[in-house]
Structures are given as structure tokens and as C-alpha cells.
Amino acid sequence: MSTPEVQRTIDAVWRMESARIVAGLVRLTGDVGHAEDFAQDALVAALEQWSEAGVPDNPGAWLTTVARRKAMDQIRHRKMAERKHREMAGEIELSGHVEEPDAGLGEPIGDEVLRLVFICCHPLLPTEARVALTLRLVGGLTTEEIARAFLVPTPTLAQRIVRAKRTLREARIPFELPPETELPERLASVLGVIYLVFNEGYSATAGTEWVRPELCRDALRLGRVLAALAPVEPEVHGLVALLELQASRLSARVGPGGEAVLLMDQDRSRWDQLHIRRGLDALRTAQELGGALGPYALQAAIAACHARALTPDDTDWEGIAALYDALAQVMPSPVVELNRAVAVGRAFGAEEGLKVLERIQAEKALEGYHLLPAVRGDLLERLGRAEEARTAFLQAAAMTENEREREVLVKRAEAQKG
């Protein structure tokens, strides 16, 4: 097999197996940075050996074995060095025994991966570091891929990951699940990271692409993994439901020339029915687990209203407005209010939507946020106030950093002239 073919195989295996491999190595070494180093050493060995001997029947197990062997060799080497130092100081207990580093490592793989997820999303790390580390260690993405997805220089992203690993090492974060009292807060951090990754793929904040489907796929895969590892957490299923339902629209969000297509203009026959079925199933699971719906499940219920509507006119806007009312209670934020203004405007008329919008504008919390004038432009357009709508759309276009979104807003502004 040629080297490029081997490299493609290794890349594919790494995407599927990296979380399990690195999690096992963190359990063994107690250090995220060292764990990834040993995993990378195993990848180098695979590239060298598989080109000659061919890809083994179980490449994931091969990588795991080689990586663990390298880790154990270093641990034994360190223990021997420590023992020699003690001998020189006359402090050695002459037992002659070197403890096996993998003693007691019989935990289920799922538990190890879940611990790795919680470490990557530790509240000690800033949000951008949590995202980078999660995509790197749990998602299996390369530093270059993450940097490209978030439009930052590769050296900047690499330093972000290095600092995150150093922070975890210096803080001596244990490889264990959070205490039960901390679990809701820590789980919220994990879900927030996955949601942030998906959103960046679903509606890119900057650049020339309106969507980045690969980021959405990576986030959705992480969400599915988490749902399998934490099957009784309603909000995990709520998040997966939301991502599945949003992902169903990805192909319809982009026109033939790469242009952005807004929700009300999308060809709904292009919505992916498999994603919709999976999303509705996940939402049903979240609801059946009991208790009040959390923010992700509520947003999934909103997305489900859109998914069930065959045409924009069939949309249950009153139901969506009521769900936004509930969401504002459990997760009050200016962005939620902005979305509620859209729903109210559709359900009860544009004038009512503008009233909600005026309250948001008075608080100035979204000053500089391009979607505020964009929503205002939409409501004004529906009221026939063309010149005001044009001004609002141009203001929004000047604020956004995404070229495709800017094109749509400018086009809507120009449409007000006639």
C-alpha cells in the first residue's frame, strides 16, 4: 500500500478511535499532553510499518497497543530513574518491585471517554481553549483543521492547545467524573462547547462560506457520543435533537452558487428527512426522561415546529412564540428575546414584533450585533416601510463579517428601492 493510502487510512482510523485511545492514555499517565504525545508516536509508527506490512485487521487496537506500550516504557523508565535517585540518597526500599502502570485499569471504555470530554471542557479553561481541545482530543481533528474552521492562524490555535494542556497539568486535574454536586454545571459546559462548534458550522461568523458542514458533522458526532455515554440526561438528548433538526437544513441553506438561503426561502424538499426523524426521536427521549425541558430541548422543540411544517405558511408560529416565552424563563438573554421578536412578529403581526424589538434596543445589550438591524429590517419590510427597512438592512450588512450573509442583506436592501 502506498504512503498516501496509508495516511488516508490512518486519518480515518484516528477520527474514529482517537477519543478512546487518548482517554485510555490519560487514565494511564494522568496527563493530557503526554497522552496525546504517545498517541501521536503511535501514528508515526503506523505510517512507517503499515506502508511495509499493510494495515492490520484491527487498526484501532494496533494503535492503542503501541501507544500504551510507549507510555508504559516511559513510566517504567521514570520509575527506575526515581529509584536510582533514592538509592543514591540512601532512601530506597529494596523491594525490587516496579508497579505495573496499568494496574486496575479495568473501567469501561465509555467511562474513560466521558472523563476525557469533561477534562477538555473543564471550567478552568477559557471557552476557546475548551473548543480547541475538545475538537483535537475528542473529535480527532488536526490543529490545522481546527484553525481553518475558526479562521485563526495555525500557530495561534496550536498555542491555545498547548496552554490548555499546561493549565490542566499544573492544576493536576484528576481523570475522573465531576462530583455529583458539580455535574450539572460541568455538563452545561460540555454541551455549550458542542453547541458552539455546531453553530460556527451552521452560520459562520466570518469568511466567504455561509456554512461549514464538516464542523456541524463533528459537533453532531460529539453530541451522539455524549448521548450514548450519558443516556439519562435529558438535556444531552435535547442538544442532539436540536443539532439533528438544524443539520437537516444544511443543504437547503446554500444556493447553487454558494449563496446564503434564508429559512423562509428554502426548498423544504431538500431538508434531510433522516436527520429530522433522528431529531424528533431524540426530542421524544428528552421529554420522556421527565422534568421541565431545558434550553436545548426547548430550542429543539422550536426547530421541530419548523421541521413539521411542509411550507412556511404551515408553521405554527404561535406555538413557536410560546416556546420562546418558556425559553426566556429558563435562559433569559437578549438573543433569545431577539428570536422571540421574530416569532411574535410572525404569529401576531409585525407591529407586535417591533414592540418586542424596541424593548431590546432600549437596553442596548445587542448594540453592534448585526442580526438586530436585520430583524428590524424584516419587520419594517413586512409593514411596507421600505426606506426604513433599506436603512436597517444596510446597517446589518455593514456589521456582519460573513461575506455571504452580507450579500443577502445588501440584496434585501436593494429590493426596497422598487
* Length reported for the chain: 418
User: What does residue 249 show for φ and ψ, rounded to 5 degrees?
Assistant: -95, -5
Report, as an integer, the average pLDDT of 28-56: 85
- Give residue-wise pLDDT tens across range 169-178: 999 888 887 8
How much is the pTM?
Answer: 0.78
The pLDDT of residue 345: 97
Average pLDDT over residues 213-240: 91
Q: Is the pLDDT of residue 90 over 80?
A: no
Who wins on pLDDT, 246 or 20? 246
Sequence-ordered list of residues with C-beta below 8 angstroms from that of 203, at least 6 positions apart, any chain: 210, 211, 402, 405
* Domains of the chain, first to last: 3-88 (1.10.1740), 109-207 (1.10.10.10), 316-361 (no CATH), 368-418 (no CATH)
In the structure, what pLDDT confidence band is assigned to residue 82 with cuts at 50, 70 and 90? low
| Residue 86 pLDDT | 55
* Per-residue pLDDT tens over the stretch 139-166: 788 888 888 777 789 999 999 999 999 9
Residue 28: band (very low, low, confident or very high) from pLDDT cuts 50, 70, 90:
confident
Mean pLDDT score of the chain, rounded to an integer?
87
pLDDT at residue number 250: 96
pLDDT at 85: 52
Report, as an integer, the average pLDDT of 181-186: 80
pLDDT category, 300, cuts 50, 70, 90? Answer: very high
Q: What are 313-371's pLDDT values in tens digits?
A: 999 999 999 999 999 999 999 999 999 999 999 999 999 999 999 999 988 889 889 99
Span 72-99, average pLDDT: 57
d(CA 281, CA 290): 15
Cα–Cα dist 158/144, whole Å: 9
- Judged on CB neighbours under 10 Å (0-12, 13-18, 19+), 54 is exposed
Least-confidence region, from 21-30, 78-87, 129-138, 273-282 = 78-87
Angle at 241 between CA 240 and CA 245, to 5 degrees: 115
Q: Tens digits of per-residue pLDDT, 241-256?
A: 999 999 999 999 999 9
Is the backbone of residue 255 left (phi > 0), alpha (psi -120 to 50) or beta? beta
For 359-390, what is each residue's pLDDT tens digit? Answer: 999 888 898 899 999 999 999 999 999 999 99
CA nearest neighbour of 201 among 265, 148, 259: 148
The 8 Å CB, 24+ separation contacts for 322-328 are: 323/298, 326/293, 326/298, 327/295, 327/298, 327/299, 327/302
